Structure 1
């Protein structure tokens, strides 16, 4: 992992400075991986949606749901 820092203000839409203007942008241009923990909000939202959909699908496939154990009206996942 690199400790190289950007030498400029944050760029809009994740853009990078042209080659030669910022050492960290140069590393990214050359194929360096983004730092962990800097995943996009859209990626995190997609992962959370997939996790939630799996949780709901597992509930509906469960014996508790099939037997009516969750009540007369299943509200699982409605929060």
Structure 2
């Protein structure tokens, strides 16, 4: 589970609106689950769904391929 702020720090340079939009799309697509703890200030966490977890090996393979193509 990751909070919005944690995700933003991990990613680096990204606007809040862009990150919010991307997270919302990933929730709609079934890759993430959004857990709202109903607190003020908002306490929201994101966690990979089973579908999201199944995509991780594909992302790792794509990262490896890209690094090999760039000679990293």
TM-score, normalization by structure 2: 0.29
Which has the larger share of strand? 2
| Structure with bigger RCO (C-alpha 8 Å, 6+ apart) | 2
Which structure has the larger Rg?
A: 1
Which has the larger share of helix? 2
TM-score, normalization by structure 1: 0.27
